[in-house]
Structure formats: structure tokens, C-alpha cells
A = this chain, B = another copy of it.
């Protein structure tokens, strides 16, 4: 298998040059020029190998490899968009691995003189990262019916450009629709549990529960030089205290069994002038935990702290949009199938939970879904220094090929009813 693995690494290297940054990462935020270059590059790559490519109304890109005319479709995918100064593996690895795996499945079927029961579509979901346009996981959220295409198309970036305008500018929007019967995704772990346990592969058992809040801290604009402390309504002080409180809550509520993780990634100060007490800060805070009870306790604590901070900083804190995801499991039969496939290839593996959201987080709520992880060196992610070693990438492509082969042969879901119900209860815990 040497030459096909080299082909994968070569294609990955070519793709990584698109939107590349000086620090060894990429900047291919959703529907930017660089994302457009990459989407069109990927189209050229796979059309050269017999796929046909279409776009749906929110820019999801479908690369179809038809193995059996008229058969239902199973999907493999991830996302080609990146964070600003992001790593070159996050998402992009999974899409390219999907295309290579699909070709390997086709070749394996020919070699074994077997017939598939499903066709394969590789999906590049639009805007998984959610930095230029919010929220994240936009394309797969529309596919899963969680938000409407109309709402997505009107969403604007900080310069007032809509998703529709941005997608039209790079020529990657259409009206294609495709119903798929199952979903498989491979992604870098973005944590270090696989590396710490010296495993080749992570089989994702469940997502963590996450509560995300948009807070608006309202103070009153004043002169930093002339306004005494007693007269201040300092929005930046209130917002800063909220960031500090969020960390304190993570440390306080984490237990040996169930970790709590709190984050604030976006924090905008107005008017943000050196000599002005801030009138307003908008910030996003999220609270995550593997356990619903622990999450609820941490969340209640956060909201109690909001009242204390309002009094301390003499500000008013509004809670804006809120997104709540319960901890949910992936398909149990898929977990078993992937473990057996890894065993057949001699790859070490273990069960993991995903802290981060992925397109599969959406897809698992509408079709049977399998989610696989490959290791990230030191767990570094959303960073130009993000790294997955070549041997780990290759092991991942080999496993994905084996899993896909089993799925298209009907070992995961039946092809008799492509709209079948989810096989297992998807709620974890209480």
C-alpha cells in the first residue's frame, strides 16, 4: 500500500499550501478567497478520480462516487474551512481522507469482485469553525434541520457581508439535495488522551454537554483620567471578573470522574480607547462537562456569580443567545464495527469522548454515525503548530477505508430502508 499512502500525503501537502501561513498553519476561514481556492482545488482533485461534485443551497460540497447506480448513499466527511491562523489538519484531514478511502473501497470491491449496497458521498460541510460567520457547524446544522437555510444565508460577517454573498463570490453555492443513510467522520483528536495512552485510534463514544452563552456587560462610558472609582460603571471590569469567575467555576466543580471546562474565546470591548472606561463588552462563555449533573451545578454557579459581579462592578449583565447541547452518545453498533475494523488492521484503539463540537455532532442526531479520531501531538489545536504525524494520518486513512468498506457492504445499516430510525438511545446520563 506504499504508493497510495504516498499519494495521500502528497495531496495533503498540496492542499496545505492553500491559504498557508508563515507559522506553518493555514487561514482558510469559511467562504473567504482561500476557502474558495481550496474548495475548487478539491473539486478538481476528485473529479479527476471519477467523482462528480455538487453544492447545496448553503454551500455544502458533495463529492459523489457512484459504485452502484440507484443505490442509497452513505456519507463520509468533515470540513475544509479553518480558524484564522489555524492548523492544517483540523477538518481538512477528514475530507481528504474520506476521498482517498472512497477510492480504496472502490478498488477493494473490484479486486474482491464484490458489489456495494451503498454509494459513497464525501461531504465538505460549510463553515464548521464559526469564526467569520456564527454559529459554528453551520452547514451540518442546516442538513440536520437545526437551523434554516434562509437564516444561514442572511447571516453576516463583521463587515456586513452575507453568507450568500460570500458563497456566490467564490462560486460554491447551488441547489443540490441528497439524502444520506449513514455518516462516518474521521478527525484529529485536538486533545492528548490518545497520545497519553499511546493509541493509534480513538473511537468516539459520546459528546460532552456544553452550554454556551453570549453575555453583554453594560457599563457607562467615562474618562479614565477624570472619573473617580465610585462613579464608574466599568464594563471591562465586569467582563474580566466574569472570565476569572468562569475559570474558578471549572476548578471548583471538576471532580476526579467528571471534568468541567469553561472557556471564553471572544471578547469585544467598546469603545476600546486608551482613555475611556468601557461602556460595553460582548463576550462568549461556555461551560462543558461529561456529566449532566455536574454541568448543571457549574452552570447554576456561573449565573449566581453574574449577580455578584453586577454589584461589584456597578454594571448590568444581559444574557443574550444561548446554545445548550446535552451529552449524547454515538451509535453503539458503529462503535463496535469500528473497533473490529481497527483490530483487523492491528491498530490499537480506545474509547474517547469529544469535548469539541464536530459536524458528526449534528449528523449523529439524524442518521447512524461513526466518529473516529487520530492523535494530535501534545493535543495542540486551533494553532498553527497543530500536528498529526504522517504515520497516524495514514493509519487513519486505512481504518476509515476498512470502516467504509464494511458500511457500503451493509454491515452497519441495512439498505432496505434508507430512512431508518436511529438504532440506539442517544442520551447519556440522566
Spell out A's residues near B (CB within 8 Å).
83-85, 129-131, 134, 136, 189-192, 210, 220-229, 231, 234, 236-237, 239-244, 247, 250-251, 254, 259, 261-269, 271-279, 284, 286, 288, 313, 354-357, 379-384
Contacts and interface: CB of A to CB of B under 8 A. Distances in A.
B236 A264 contact: yes
A114 to B, nearest CB: 38
A190 B136 contact: no
Contact of A382 (B221, B259, B263): B221
Contacts of A83: 271, 273, 275-276
A14 to B, nearest CB: 25
B271 A381 contact: no
23 contacts: A83-B276, A131-B275, A191-B228, A220-B380, A223-B356, A223-B382, A224-B382, A226-B354, A226-B379, A227-B355, A228-B259, A228-B355, A237-B244, A239-B240, A240-B243, A241-B244, A247-B313, A265-B274, A266-B272, A267-B269, A268-B269, A276-B382, A277-B382
Given A84-B271, A85-B221, 17 more contacts: A83-B276, A136-B274, A191-B227, A223-B381, A224-B263, A224-B264, A224-B265, A226-B355, A227-B381, A228-B261, A236-B265, A236-B267, A266-B274, A267-B272, A273-B382, A275-B382, A279-B383
A267 B240 CA distance: 10
A273 B84 contact: yes
B189 A226 contact: yes
Contacts of A210: 225
Nearest to A242: B240
A85 B222 CA distance: 11
A382 B228 contact: no
Contacts of A234: 247
B271 A276 contact: no
Nearest to A212: B274
A129 B279 CA distance: 17
A226 B188 CA distance: 11
Contact of A286 (B131, B224, B266): B224
A220 to B, nearest CB: 7
B251 A356 contact: no
Which of A129, A229, A241 is packed against the most chain B CB atoms within 10 Å? A229
Given A190-B225, A241-B240, A265 B273 contact: yes
A58 B264 CA distance: 42
A190 B268 CA distance: 26
A272 B254 CA distance: 26
